[in-house]
Structure 1
Amino acid sequence: MFYVQVKRIVKFIRRKVKEAGARGVVVGLSGGVDSAVVTALCKMALGKGVIALIMPESETSQEDVADAVEFAKKMKVRYYVVDFSRVYNEFKRAIPIFNEKALVANGNLKARIRMCILYYFANRKKLLVAGTGNRSELLMGYFTRYGDGGVDFLPIGGLYKTDVVKLARELGIPKKIIEKKPSPGLWKGQTAEGELGVEYGKLDEVLRRIEFRSDSEIAEEVGLSKARVRGIRKRIKLMKFKCEMPEVA
């Protein structure tokens, strides 16, 4: 299963790069498991045709930065550390309604600055931007539109989060990266499961059943309340627009 999965994704990466006439890919490497898996798969597919960007700002965990640098070195991937703290601070000064307490809006701004940096490298080096989103987060709309959602293709977009973790173990991703508490790292104390309101293990079990089972059946099988399952179903419906092109009148 592992071999088949890796072979399929590696083939997909090569096809996307070839179709675009690109020289390779650029990946945002955060120090988390998703970006580590994508970087490893791109390295397998393209060899030297991979650039990793590590993009911290003042609130970024230094442990994450160190882990990302160490992983890039281990993979022998060319990498750049681009600290965009000054850029973000200029936005803060320029936006008249900026509010330090608006965590979501400010976090989305950071994600969109990172997207701009990725695409600058992509344009200059004739690369594609390889996204790091997984199926769980795509279905739940747990990403920033035109931020980490602004990419050219999604190598692990068909894998649920728990499947990404399994794949990471098979690929030999460092244990400390795999076992980190998932977080977009957009503000201090942020955790993915805290914002989603459910741990990934339970969430993925719901998502695997959502098209074929009723809320009551899923709740009983997975061990969540019916209200929680209903909330997940509602969120999927509400967030569907984030994966679609803007509608034309």
Structure 2
Amino acid sequence: MTATETIARADDPLDLTLSAEELDAHREHITDFIASQYEAAGADQAILGLSGGIDSTLTGYLLVEALGAENVHALVQPSEVNREENMSDAERVASELLDVEFDVVEINPLVDAFLDAYPDAAEDTTATGNLRARVRAVLNYLVANHEDGLVVGTGNRSEALVGYFTKYGDGAVDCHPIANLYKQQVRQLARHVGVPDDLAGKESSAELWEGQTDEGELGMGYDTLDSILALHVDGPLSTAATAKEIGVETETIETVRELYEASEHKRRAPPGPDRLH
């Protein structure tokens, strides 16, 4: 984001705070879900990509609670655009906070091999960013196939509804344990289960290219996005009513609606024609 760009923020964002009882209920619901998915798959390991961000950190905590540290294998997959502190956080989460087996796999050589094969895309920031996400997915499944593992995703509800993930990249997983939580609630549950505040409150970034941040790319703060999703996309309020309720321009509401509608294909299996009778 440049100095001239601004991020839309609601004057009065919707309070999505969960009570302690609700957080306990979500915790139990998610860990039960993880255990049932693991058992149904007949898996020997849960494979988790750790980025150092709050989504993968919370997912890691819940995986260990549900399955035990001995049944979780984390992959830390840095590239040249990753901030060193995020990769350090990922290794800290794996080794100090979760005490799980983990491997560090540098993906630059693999990304470079693809770009050498098709150099026309080398200067395309979006294409190369998505390539990094897809390379990580391939590695996750390589390890999962070798270890009879279940690839566990880290996507939350806010990002899923606006398509803020890479199709067949970070969206290519066997299950998404925190899929029902808005981003605000991810941070709440993280603190509730004991994630240190420096991790629970850190700025979110998919780090698909240098300097990228989630809020900068989305053009709005997560509190604003969550409010629009809860009131307008998931909820009953019109564009005008939502804008008035939280104090943002109607254009911001329309942007979120457009993202939701344009990303529908990401939330569904690839289509095919109807069967002939």
Task: Within 5 Å, give how 1:204-219 maps onto structure 2.
Answer: 204-210=226-232, 211-219=235-243
Shift of 1:99: 2.8
Say which of 78, 93, 118 aligns to 1:95. 118
Under a length normalisation based on structure 2, what TM-score does the superposition of the two structures give?
0.88
Deviations 1:57-86 (A, max 9, x none): 122111111111111112111111011111
d(CA) in 2 for partners of 1:213, 1:114: 38
TM-superposition CA deviations, 1:120-153 (whole Å, max 9, x none): 0100000111000000000000000000000000
The answer as to 2:89 corresponding to 1:29 is no
Give the secondary-structure state (helix, strand or coil) at the position aligned to 1:83: coil
Q: Shift in Å at residue 27 of structure 1?
A: 0.5
Deviations 1:92-134 (A, max 9, x none): 111142232x111110000000000000010000011100000
Pair 1:129-2:151 in alignment: yes
Contact 2:47 2:144 in 1 (8 A): yes
SS in 1 for 2:207: coil
Q: Structure 2, unaligned stretches of length 5 or more?
A: 1-21
Ranges in structure 1 where 5+ consecutive residues have no aligned partner:
none
Picking from 113, 134, 142, the partner of 2:164 is 142
Alpha-carbon distance in structure 2 between the residues aligned to 1:44 and 1:53? 18
2:247 corresponds to which residue?
Answer: 223
* Aligned with residue 109 of structure 2, among 86, 111, 127: 86
Q: State the Cα RMSD in Å.
A: 0.9
Residue 214 of structure 2 is aligned to residue 155 of structure 1: no
- Identity rate of aligned residues, in percent? 39
TM-score computed with the length of structure 1 as normaliser:
0.97
Taking the aligned partners of 2:126 and 2:67, their CA distance within structure 1 comes to 35
Q: Distance in 1 between matches of 2:250 and 2:36?
A: 42
Q: Specify which of 179, 186, 210 is matched with residue 164 of structure 1.
A: 186
Q: CA deviation at 1:241?
A: 0.8
Query: What residue is the counterpart of 2:142 in the other structure?
Result: 120
What displacement does 1:179 show?
2.3
SS in 2 for 1:80: strand
How many residues were matched structurally? 248
Deviation at 1:180, TM superposition (A): 1.8
Q: What is the aligned partner in structure 1 of residue 85 from structure 2?
A: 63
- Structure 2 distance, partners of 1:190, 1:104, is 11
- Compare 87-96 and 8-17 and name the one that shifted more: 87-96
